[in-house]
Amino acid sequence: AQKVTQAQTEISVVEKEDVTLDCVYETRDTTYYLFWYKQPPSGELVFLIRRNSFDEQNEISGRYSWNFQKSTSSFNFTITASQVVDSAVYFCALSTNTGNQFYFGTGTSLTVIP
Amino acid sequence: KAGVTQTPRYLIKTRGQQVTLSCSPISGHRSVSWYQQTPGQGLQFLFEYFSETQRNKGNFPGRFSGRQFSNSRSEMNVSTLELGDSALYLCASSLEGAVTYEQYFGPGTRLTVT
């Protein structure tokens, strides 16, 4: 069975603080894909990153960075020097060729306080 | 490039009625997926269409159905509406398939069943 767990339901940080959003996944497939999406208050989900299971290289994009560790089945997302505009719900998702589905975590609501 | 569009944006229906939602994908995208988002269940995958064929399906009753046209536009239909069908319905398009490619989401249709 495939599953994505985002244990942090809500996080509040003060502007300019760093924050890490956790994502733990479960799958028996050897080929799978992990994603992060952002859902701002406007409601439209925005794609942030895709990573396949064979690429464990961490990635940095501006203030965003992702840490993929197969050993712990985690794909964590860090925002450095958070800004008010980062306030949103962030979803981690998993897909596999076997499952032929897309599985979202329950999301982490991030509030950045000015 | 125009994004994913969904119509209508808001809809109020009565229990027992049926409803049809429409989604126009990004030009050139052949895959369209539908999701249901509720506060209690989060984001759940309904189904994916690719080249006018349903390729993947989530765990929803047969009251939920869809189709895709030759221009990749897709419709989702819910028959015999129940109160629990009240949700935000999101459509997403991707180049080749929801499983391996990033998806681009529309703004959603907010369905309220009374």
Distance from CA of A32 to the nearest CA of B (A): 8
In a 10 Å sphere around its CB, with 0-12 CB exposed, 13-18 middle and 19+ buried, how is residue B31 labelled? buried
As a whole number of angstroms, the distance between CA B106 and CA B97 comes to 16
Q: Are A16 and A80 in contact (CB under 8 A)?
A: no
Q: Determine the pLDDT at residue B40.
A: 85
Ranges assigned E (strand) in chain B: 5-7, 10-13, 19-24, 31-38, 42-50, 53-57, 64-68, 74-78, 87-94, 104-105, 109-113
Residues in chain B: 114
As a whole number of angstroms, the distance between CA A88 and CA B76 comes to 27
Mutate to test the interface with B, among A6, A101, A103, A108 (most CBs of B within 10 A): A101
Q: What digits encode the pLDDT tens for the residues A10-23?
A: 999 999 999 999 99
Give Cβ neighbours of residue B12 (< 8 Å, ≥ 6 apart). B111, B112, B113, B114
Q: What digits encode the pLDDT tens for the residues B56-95?
A: 888 899 999 999 999 999 999 999 999 999 999 999 998 8
Q: Determine the pLDDT at residue A8.
A: 96
Statement: residue A99 has pLDDT above 60: no
Q: What digits encode the pLDDT tens for the residues B8-55?
A: 999 999 999 999 999 999 999 999 999 999 988 889 999 999 989 998
3-class secondary-structure state, position A2:
coil
- Nearest-by-CA chain A residue for B92: A45
Phi then psi for residue A71, to 5 deg, are: -60, -30
Q: Determine the pLDDT at residue A42.
A: 84
Q: Which residues of B touch A107 (CB under 8 A)?
A: 42-43
Mean pLDDT of all residues belonging to chain A:
92
